[in-house]
């Protein structure tokens, strides 16, 4: 798994986008006390269920791999030349 240059920032943006997607779809209502890890796991599973991202083998699902997968998913939806996509 190749680390993205701005992976932390991409993950934060991906989590915000994923939470907005999940709540907009009325699949969940996150509480203010829900951790980023909990939200990320739910968003990952929802995106897999909706066939927006490919699932990982269950033994590879970890917080680190979910963060990377969500960051990669979000990076694919950013316009060309976006500051977070700099090499």
CB atoms within 10 A of CB 69: 23
Q: Is residue 84 part of a domain?
A: no
Q: Is residue 61 part of a domain?
A: yes
Kindly report the pTM of this predicted structure: 0.89
Q: Is residue 2 part of a domain?
A: no
Query: Length of the chain in residues, anyone?
Result: 87
Domain of 16? 7-78
Q: How many domains does the chain have?
A: 1
Q: Is residue 42 part of a domain?
A: yes
Q: Is residue 16 part of a domain?
A: yes
Which tens digits make up the pLDDT trace of 2-60? Answer: 777 888 999 999 999 999 999 999 999 999 999 999 999 999 999 999 999 999 999 99
Q: Is residue 1 part of a domain?
A: no
CA distance linking residue 70 with residue 13, whole number of Å: 9
**What's the confidence (pLDDT) of residue 15?**
96
Q: Is residue 33 part of a domain?
A: yes
Q: Is the pLDDT of residue 75 over 80?
A: yes
Q: Is residue 49 part of a domain?
A: yes
CATH number at residue 25: 1.20.120.1930
Spatial CA neighbour of 47 closest among 30, 29, 64, 72: 72
């Amino acid at each position: 798994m190749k680390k993205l240059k701005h992976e932390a920032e991409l993950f934060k943006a991906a989590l915000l986008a994923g939470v907005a997607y999940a709540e907009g779809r009325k699949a969940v209502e996150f509480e203010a006390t829900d951790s980023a890890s909990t939200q990320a796991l739910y968003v990952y599973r929802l995106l897999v269920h909706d066939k927006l991202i490919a699932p990982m083998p269950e033994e590879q699902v970890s917080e680190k791999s979910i963060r990377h997968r969500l960051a990669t998913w979000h990076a694919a939806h950013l316009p060309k030349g976006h500051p977070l996509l700099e090499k």
